[in-house]
Amino acid sequence: MARPLMFAIFALFLSVCSAWGETAPDAEMARALVGADTAQVLVQRQEAPLPLWQVLDAGDRRVMGHIASTWEVLKSTGYSGKPLDILVAVDGAGAITGARLIEHAEPILTLGISDQDIADYVDGFAGLRMGAQGLEGDAPDIISRATVSTGVIRDSILHTARLLAHSDRGGIDRVSFEPANWASLTQMGAFATQSVSLRDARAALPDANPPIPDKDGIFLETWISVLDPATIGQNLLGAQGFRRAIAALPADHDALLIASRGLHSHRGTAWRRSGVFDRVMLEQDGRQFTPLSSGYQRLNQFEPDDAPEVKEASLFAIPRDQIDLAEPFTVTISATRGDAVFPISVPFELDAAFVTPAAAMPVPPPAWQAAWQQKQGPLIGLAVMLGTLFTILFFQDAFVKRPRLWLWTRMGFLSVTFVWLGLVLGAQLSVVQVVAFVHSLLNGFKWEVFLIEPLIFVLWGFTALGLLFWGRGVFCGWLCPFGALQELSNQAARRLGIKQIAVPHAVHERLWIIKYTLFLAILGLSFYSMKDALILAEAEPFKTAISLRFVRSWPFLLFVGAILFVGLFVERAYCRYLCPLGAALAIPAKLKIFDWLRRRPQCGRECRLCEQQCTVGAIDPLGRINPNECILCLRCQMIFHEPHTCTVLKRRNRAA
């Protein structure tokens, strides 16, 4: 039974892969994309140096433009972690003549944004020009409430257009690939080498302490290269290792390889403290640059069988505005003994086989950079808010000893969370983002995809940190706008005298199953159909109440109204039993390394007051606090420290 199932899964995988490869434009689509003014065009496939389609006039065979697929060229994936395929057409002048959305699996339908809205956004890139100084013209504005998806689409289109516009122009050739072993690469001029013997080093550093041995041997033998050309990088690191190494580079950096063996290390150990590889210096046209640890990757042994065994191999990220690795430069590795310095210089020039003739065009700035600049004010406000919450939780003992301060601070914080963080900024986390993160890990994680939403990124970062320190309650109890709305409305109901319903603990425990089942169903369904998973994710009322601010059709409003109505009688009923996001956060919260909530041996045996006062039922009849259900409201901690409320403290006071 297992074997047929495996074959079926494999067949499904092959069919999905083949489906993503079927993006070839027909003549009519190609004619529309390049804006041809002729009745008939010819479409010819070209594999090198870039996989693309050349569109020619059927009459005089004049080239009218080029078309490329973002998925085929970049392996572009969207926020959902699924492939994102857009055909981009560029004419001979470097102008985008058209773009066509072919396939996507972005979570936009849940936000009231249609496929046509995304298609119109893609069409809006027509007319932009990839000039020598960068992008000429204004790209269409990113769609509100779909900033991540449309930001990824923007970057994919502009990156592909840049490659199309300059596929026959200068810079490092990052596309062409030719299988080669170490000897072949050496013959092609991929390396600059230098070897210094122990005796040479002893002569240069006569006063070294300890002295350099006076014998045959290698002091330093080094190989210098640039890994960006696929023929070099992919042959040395293997296809998977090459993709992983290049993907980890910042967008405006290139990869310098330094490999060495011998007594001397080109890395040393000081960089672990300083973050600077002070033994390495790059020089070019009077400019100098020392590699930093932030762009460093340690490499393993090289793939070719005939590669020499090296002691160390390093990849350094070199910013293009400092050193252009396509032009000649010199790497100097210093050996220092006391006050004496022995510089070992290795000139390097990338062979013409790996460089195209002219200078490459600047890379358009990624969408996430503009997003962070535009959100500076809200980010500062969010930082203040998170700093306040951290202070409350870190010094919670002093905080909960003042009941009035606790009450007003909590109600005020929740009001800010609901009104400012939720309704004004729309910074509501969702289970959709968890699903997208899982798919991104499986399909090739890209930081820039998640950086496009600065507020969401910061919130997730703080929530992840909070999971380790305090558990899921950091977000669910303080930073969830919809959770804040439920608690505020329930507090208002209590003040109006609405009687609360106490859910029996046995029923309470069994109802927890719903949210965990719902989360696993959404996650599992996403592997079959992201669209169906997003429909099921409508079990979250966040989009209706927070993202769309209650501006939605009546069935969604009725659903939110029902949740809030039940919440008037059972505080945070949705959080307790239905929230798939809460379930998703509770699972990694098992890794919590601190236990901040204080208990006494008498809790649950001699006294059950905290259990009765816990508004979300996170304390069981034995007095144990379930971190998967606790929202860190700190009500039990206030009772714990209150001498006139806690029965244990009252008994001690009477005894005293």
pLDDT, tens only, 354-410: 876 544 444 556 667 777 887 889 999 999 999 999 999 988 888 888 888 888 999
Burial class (CB in 10 A: 0-12, 13-18, 19+), 65: buried
In angstroms, the CA 520 to CA 122 distance is: 33
Query: Which pLDDT does position 140 carry in this prediction?
Result: 81
Length of the chain equals: 656
* pLDDT beneath 50: ranges in the chain: 1-22, 132, 169-170, 358-362
Q: What are phi and psi of 98, to 5 degrees?
A: 180, 160
Query: What pTM was estimated for this model as a whole?
Result: 0.55
The three-class DSSP label of residue 306 is: coil
Q: Judging by DSSP bridges, how do beta strands 329-337 and 340-348 pair with one another?
A: antiparallel
pLDDT at 606: 75
User: Which pair of structure tokens corresponds to residue 355?
Assistant: 């460089």
Under DSSP, the state recorded for 213 is P
Long-range CB contacts (< 8 A, 24+ apart) of 298-306?
299/237, 299/245, 299/257, 299/259, 300/241, 302/182, 302/236, 302/237, 302/259, 303/235, 303/236, 303/237, 303/238, 303/241, 304/180, 304/181, 304/182, 304/185, 304/235, 304/236, 305/181, 306/181, 306/182, 306/183
Condensed to tens digits (0 to 9), the pLDDT of residues 458-503 reads: 999 999 998 888 888 899 999 999 999 999 999 999 999 999 888 8
**C-alpha 289: how far from chain center:** 28
- Residue 100: name the closest of 85, 83, 78, 117 by CA: 85
